[in-house]
Structure 1
Amino acid sequence: MKNTYKALGMACLLSLSMSGYSQQQAYDFVLDTKKVGAPIQSTMYGLFFEDINFAADGGLYAELVKNRSFDFPQNLMGWNTFGKVEVRKDNPLFDQNPTYVVLSDPGHPHKRTGIENEGFRGMGFKQNEAYRFSVWAKTVNSNEPQKIRIDLLDEKNDILVTQQLVINAGDWKKYEISLTPKATEAKGRLRIFLDSKGSVALEHVSLFPVNTWKGRENGLRADLAQALSDIKPGVFRFPGGCIVEGTDLDTRYDWKKTIGAVENRPVNENRWHYTFPHRFFPDYYQSYGLGFYEYFLLSEDMGAEPLPVLSCGLACQYQNEKEECHVPVKDLGSYIQDALDLIEFANGSPTSTWGKVRAEMGHPAPFNLKYIGIGNEQWGDEYVVRLEPFVKAIRAKYPDIKIIGSSGPSADGDKFEYLWPEMKRLKVDLVDEHYYKDPKWFLNSAKRYDNYDRKGPAVFAGEYACHVPNRDNNFESALYEAAFMTGLERNADIVHMCTYAPLLAHVDAWQWKPDMIWFDNLSSVKTPNYYVQQLYAQNKGTNVMPLTRNNTSISGEDDLYASAVYDKDENCYIVKVANTGTDSKDIKINVEGLKKQATLSLGECFELKANDLKIVNSLQTPTNIIPQKTTAKLEGNTLQIIAKAQSFSLYKIQL
């Protein structure tokens, strides 16, 4: 019996030893430097912005007042009123925003008249930072100056700062003051009292932090804009998404209504207003304060190519099944002209009709627009017959503009299979593919583009995200996106753009998740998905390099995914490795084909890793998962790395 136990013990030890050896076996990769691959487009990794989840008003757009011009369909939505307040539209200051309010003496010395704005789930105030209050105002039925008092309040109704403003003219005039609260508050409010015995009219009541991104008055929230810029995006797609289409044609996004004086940009109902009954936000409207001019400016500031997307005359097909809901093909003339006019607005000389509008807004130089998308997630013959006249008109007048068409709402299926040949027939330049899929799909699709037709249009992966159960932005979703993106990078000859979606979400007012950046009224958090996008975008290189194992691409065998690029500007090779398995992997990357005199050195190396795939970054713990510097060993022309279990890592090999 002892001998039996002894034999079993030896067998167990041998088994454990072999198991340990198996886990620590070397994986040999080959990076062939003689075969410099296809150029990587400057637009390869970028950003897609859609006004969902209160991403614009209440988010990126720094305005703190909701319904500032009183032109929501319910004119006082967002406002509490007290005393004698009258809503009026006669003799308006702005034709597209005609509504204003009149505050009048309540008729008793101990009563008060005023209005109070709730903001977007409150207003975020920071201690000792300045806020610019402005209002268009006039006295009513009196030549006597009138006074109003402006208070910034905290959640408990205590006053953080107060200041009086004198309205001294009987004609509309813009007034402005600066307010500096004495404490920080995430759920603040703005209150305006009438502080005299007459009447005063108020229009376009506005409150901005002075510290906007780039310091612009009609500016962007600094932390959110900086987070976008820090990715170093190559392309910036705007303004959506489904909001381009609208729930109906009346609520489609119309770029011409978003330019010019900000006070005269009309309110539009947001398409995400009531799409999800369980995430219903009846106060979700677009002020258009963040409009096409501001989107172009943001693109320029970030160094990204602007990519506007316009309506093709189809309202959202999910919500409108009948043909009469859409613009007939014969009536598309104004829509096509909108596309041509947008190109002129972006690129035309200051003496052209629309170039002059841009110049008068403060940007005489062109924005150098190179891309335009027509339609968002459209499908079927009804899309193709509408897209075709757009293509013909744009090609005729602006042959250098690259046109982006759609492959429909999914990554496969009848709609997808029908549209791709049609996009080739129409000779669009890129086809926009969308996929919101589960983790298994992302891992299985790392080879998706290996055998795509290289003779047709290029691919724009315009909306994608890994949807784990509960759709959290946890490390699992980020890791599987990183693995999938090795396939995008390896096929950069056919994939010219890719953008994660959606981009932004307010923690108190979201309709859809996951999202790349979450925020409240004071702070924001970058998700693990953000850091994956940033690592790729900041290290995209200039050319694809062949990286193989056993003469094949590294796309899932033994849970390993990898790609490599050459960066001619930094004169280095960059290797990205995702290990989705539960065991660490010892990897040797043999750099072959170098010139005899070439010597290699190890550059920066980064790792994104978490012990638990379910871990997330939150507003309370924003740095749970962030890129950390890691190490590797370089001996001669061989890079030795340890790809830790469930990790994404990046290595630079300097020439």
Structure 2
Amino acid sequence: MLSSLSVGLFGLAVLLPSTHARIPRLPRQVSTPQFINATATNVSSVALSINTKYTSLRNTTAPYLYGLMHEDISHSGDGGIYAELLTNRAFQVVPYGPVLTGWAPIGDVRLTLDVLHPLSDALPTVLQVDIPANATGEVGILNYGWWGMDVSPQTYNASFYVLANEPRYFDNQTTFTVSLRSNLTGETFVSEQIGPVKVSTFDYTQLNASIVNTVSAPNSNNTFALTMDASEVAGQTLYFGLFSLFPETFKDRPNGLRKDIAQAFYDMKPRFLRFPGGNNLEGVSVDTRWKWWKTIGPLKDRAGRPGNWNYFNTDGLGLMEYLEWCEDMEIEPVLAVYAGFSLDIWGQSGTDWPQDRMPEVLQEAIDELEFCMGDTSTKWGAKRAEYGHPEPFNIKFVEIGNEDWFSSTYPRRFTFMYDGLKAAYPNITYISTAYNENAEYTIDIPAGAYWDTHHYEEPSYFLGNFDFYDNWQTETDNEDVGVLLGEFSVYQLDTPDGVVNFSNPADVHVFYPRMISAIAEGVYALGGERNPKTVKLSSYAPSLQNRNWYNWTPNMISFEADPTKTVLSTSYWQQLLFAHYRGTETLPVTNTQGDFNPLYWQSSIEEETGSVYLKVSRRPHLHALESSL
């Protein structure tokens, strides 16, 4: 059958209002975009005819079109979706050496950092707590969390390692108390005792406690405390390492994800997760690249690394945790592997691996895939089983590097990595991070592979490129090459020259996604939906921002320690709606009256149920759609 409908001036899009939109204090000359004038003067209607009869005119939609991109930027990992509540939990914070950031004494104790009694090779620095012989009352330490911590009715899991200094140990029993307290009033909301225990003077002992809490703190300005009675420990020295405090996590996964943020992602119905980056894959230097093998195994064996975004990464959210994230959300991993390029000094070329050393880089990637997919008879498959997951994961997509258009050597590096990986794992779809962005070259992307393209742009860019992929494969002679819209968002408002200014002038920079952000991004997404043979995957970026410490704006979701202050932006709702409402096959739509601009549309059908979806977005105002079927 043929269905027809009449679309009025304003069209339809179900998008929610923006939050935290900032009004420029000192506006400068900003152009009035042409689309605003167009919508102010265009009073005609658009009539659409949707063909639901002739199945030969349909195309299969891209099954993995909408997904997530994550790297640890703006404390989106540590202090974000990685649910650990304690900051500087293992005294890894750099740049100039371990520090006591986030910690404070309780009572009459002296806190210092010690490297003579390491917890492990990976975590050599521990907290030395000296209790004077004349100490009385409660003594111990507290942690302020990641700009506070949420205290709400749930069960918290606390743990720490402890060792006693033998010459100063009295061979007695010690009771440890862990508690959650207000940093404003000192009120203790909940506490739990561990022991009494006899602390070893030879090996570290890990102590654990479940803290069952039934109260809600009035705010997130709270602390975690570990205390002792001075009568039991006066005159002694104790060493503590790798503290941890986890709330209940998404899908109850140990060492897992913060519930509210993960649930917001899950509610979007994403189909993939691209990880671990992003710049954070490449490293500030070659040595600080994301070394996947150092992010697996027990936490006490993970040293962490200086991240690319000016803070230390604990690597608690490591390769296994990313794969389990995918498993728990029932989505496909898009695994980015290091490809021999690190950023080094920003704004310059960076560091490229010499060609004669590239076999080392290739072997790292092959070993990583063996860890993910190898059976337990393999070296790395056995390691995965040892760490709790004997069943192999399934990797369908591997991205070779990240944004390698910064590098003049990517053509040789990509070819080397692609050939080696394809030979080892021929059934994986490989993704190039560059095509024609670098003026020095154009990459020849192999048939069956994808190109990852990134766009942080003005609204008019996305609106003007609605039809960019209509004939892209033919026009560029890439008939069998797919596209990953790996990172995109409206970064600033339209300006006269149309050039994005990454110094973020306040009058045009978009600090939080606005309504026009969601509309422009939605129009761009419609362009992807109508070209499923070309556009295979897409993801908004960056996805997460801790509002207390961030490198980049705007972001899809912003948050604080208090889950009630998590903000789901207009861009989030656009992504959610588009991911929820799409079919398995495209439907031809004929505009019998009117044309694209200011209205844009795309239709699909769910073959099993017969449900028909029509998405219409209008720039820049949205009103109701009047239809008759």
TM-score (norm 1): 0.79
In the alignment, the residues of structure 2 paired with residue 98 and residue 21 of structure 1 have an alpha-carbon distance, to the nearest angstrom, of: 68
Q: In the alignment, which residue of structure 2 is the partner of 1:206?
A: 244
Instruction: Tell me which of 452, 456, 459 is aligned to 1:432.
Output: 452
Match of residue 310, structure 1, among 337, 341, 348: 337
Would you say the 8 A contact 2:48–2:589 is kept in 1? no
Q: Is residue 296 of structure 1 aligned with residue 334 of structure 2?
A: no
Secondary structure of the 2:178 match is strand
> By how many angstroms is 1:551 displaced?
9.6
Which of 436, 441, 444 is 1:423 aligned to? Answer: 444
Question: What SS does the corresponding residue of 1:153 show, helix, strand or coil?
Answer: strand
**Paired positions, count:** 549
Rounded Cα–Cα distance in structure 2 between residues aligned with 1:392 and 1:86:
52
1:15: which partner in 2?
Answer: none
User: In structure 2, what is the equivalent of residue 465 of structure 1?
Assistant: 489
Call closer, same or farther: CA 1:77–1:53 in 2, change over 3 Å.
same
CA distance in 2, matches of 1:232, 1:495: 18
With 466-475 and 395-404 compared, the bigger mean Cα shift is at 466-475
Match of 2:366 in 1: 340
SS at match of 2:517: helix
176, 199, 209: which one aligns with 1:169: 199
1:574 equivalent in structure 2: 613
Q: What is the rounded CA distance, in whole Å, between the counterparts of 2:256 and 2:522 in structure 1?
A: 33
Shift of 1:183: 3.4
Alpha-carbon deviation of 1:153?
A: 1.9
SS of corresponding position for 2:160: strand
Cα shift readout 1:327-357 (whole Å, capped 9, x = no counterpart): 2221122221111011111111122111111
- Letter paired with 1:444: G
1:498-524: CA deviations, max 9, x gaps?
Answer: 011011111222221111111111212
Q: 1:66-215, aligned counterparts within 5 Å?
A: 66-72=87-93, 73-81=97-105, 83-110=109-136, 113-126=139-152, 128-141=153-166, 142=169, 143-156=171-184, 157-166=186-195, 167-170=197-200, 171-181=203-213, 182-184=215-217, 185-195=219-229, 196-197=233-234, 198-209=236-247, 211-215=248-252
Conserved in 1, the CA contact under 8 Å of 2:74 and 2:549? yes
Q: In the TM superposition, what whole-angstrom CA distance separates every residue of 1:55-112 from its partner, at most 9, and x where no partner exists? A: 1111111101111111223332222246223322235332111221232222323487
The reply on whether 1:452 has 2:472 as its aligned counterpart is: yes
Whole-angstrom distance in 1 between the partners of 2:257 and 2:338: 25
Aligned to 1:608: none
SS in structure 2 opposite 1:453? Answer: helix
Q: Which residue of 2 aligns with 1:624?
A: none
Matched, 1:251 2:288: yes
Counterparts of 1:30 and 1:63 in 2: how far apart (Å)? 50
Alpha-carbon distance change, 400 to 21 in structure 1, aligned in 2, over 3 angstroms: closer
Q: 2:417 aligns with which of 390, 413, 424?
A: 390
Q: Deviations over 1:605-630 (max 9, x none)?
A: xxxxxxxxxxxxxxxxxxxxxxxxxx
Cα deviation, 1:444-467, whole Å, max 9, x if unaligned, reads 010110120251421000000012
Map of 1:230-269 to 2, 5 A cutoff? 230-269=267-306
TM-score by length of 2: 0.82
1:85/1:114 contact within 8 Å kept: no
Contact persistence 1:310–1:375 (CA under 8 A): yes
The residue identity in structure 1 corresponding to 2:220 is A
Question: What amino acid is aligned across from residue 391 of structure 2 in structure 1?
Answer: A
Cross-structure match for 1:487:
527
Contact 2:81 2:261 in 1 (8 A): yes
> Aligned partners of 1:272 and 1:214: how far apart in 2?
29
Shift of 1:162: 3.3
1:525–1:21 distance in 2 versus 1, CA, 3 Å: closer
**AA partner of residue 214 (structure 1):** K
Conserved in 2, the CA contact under 8 Å of 1:133 and 1:207? yes
Q: Deviations over 1:147-172 (max 9, x none)?
A: 33333221313322334433423132
Q: 1:36 to 1:154 in 2, by over 3 A?
A: farther
Distance 2:127 2:121 in 1: 15
SS of the equivalent of 2:287 reads: helix
Equivalent residue letter for 1:246: G
- The aligned amino acid for 1:285 is F
- 2:591 paired residue number: 549
* 1:532 aligns with one of 574, 577, 588: 574
Q: Is the 8 A contact 1:84 1:113 kept in 2?
A: no
- Asked if structure 1 preserves the Cα contact closer than 8 Å seen for 2:483 and 2:534, the reply is yes
Q: Go from structure 1 to structure 2 and tell me whether the alpha carbon gap of 1:21 and 1:516 turns closer, same or farther (over 3 Å shift).
A: closer
Using the TM superposition, give the Cα deviation of residue 267 of structure 1 relative to its aligned residue in structure 2, in angstroms.
1.8
Distance 1:374 1:289, change over 3 A: same
Correspondences of 1:3-82 after superposition (within 5 Å)? 23=43, 25=45, 27-31=47-51, 33-34=53-54, 35-72=56-93, 73-81=97-105
RMSD over aligned CA atoms reads 2.5
1:5-49 Cα deviation digits (max 9, x unpaired): xxxxxxxxxxxxxx9998474523443641433222221111111
Is the 1:27–1:585 Cα contact (8 Å) retained in structure 2? no
User: Whole-Å Cα distance in 2 between the matches of residues 234 and 540 of structure 1?
Assistant: 13
Q: 2: CA distance between counterparts of 1:311 and 1:29? A: 48
Q: Structure 1's 229 and 69: CA in aligned 2 closer, same or farther, altered over 3 A?
A: same
- Write the distance in 2 (CA, Å) between the matches of 1:249 and 1:174: 34
1:365 alignment partner AA: E
Which deviates more, 261-270 or 456-465? 261-270
Q: What secondary structure sits across from 2:473 in the alignment?
A: coil
Equivalent residue in structure 2 for 1:520, among 545, 551, 560: 560
Secondary structure (helix, strand or coil) at the match of 2:489 reads: strand
Q: Cα distance 1:48–1:33, how it changes in 2: closer, same or farther (>3 A)?
A: farther
In 2, Cα distance between equivalents of 1:517 and 1:322 = 31
Distance 1:124 1:203, change over 3 A: same
Q: What is the rounded CA distance, in whole Å, between the counterparts of 1:263 and 1:136 in structure 2?
A: 10
Q: Which residue of 2 aligns with 1:443?
A: 463
Moved more, 31-40 or 151-160: 31-40
Tell me how far apart the structure 1 counterparts of residues 148 and 269 of structure 2 sit (CA, whole Å). Answer: 31
SS across alignment from 1:422: coil
Identity %: 29
Letter in 2 for 1:382: T
2:517 aligned to 477, 485, 489, which one? 477
Could you tell me how far apart the structure 1 residues matched to 2:550 and 2:587 are? Answer: 40
Query: Which secondary structure state, in structure 1, belongs to the residue aligned with residue 472 of structure 2?
Result: coil
CA distance in 2, matches of 1:479, 1:443: 9
Provide the residue aligned with 2:23 in structure 1: none
Q: How far 1:271 sits from its partner (Å)?
A: 0.8
Q: Match of 1:80, SS?
A: strand
Could you tell me which runs of 5 or more consecutive residues in structure 1 were left unpaired when the two chains were aligned: 1-18, 274-283, 409-413, 588-631, 634-638, 640-655
SS at match of 1:249: coil
Instruction: Report SS of the residue matched to 2:210.
Output: strand
Shift of 1:302: 1.3
Would you say the 8 A contact 1:49–1:502 is kept in 2? yes
Tell me by how many angstroms 1:428 deviates: 6.5
- Tell me if structure 2 keeps the 8 A contact 1:125–1:186: yes
Between 1 and 2, higher relative CO (CA 8 Å, sep ≥ 6) is seen in 2
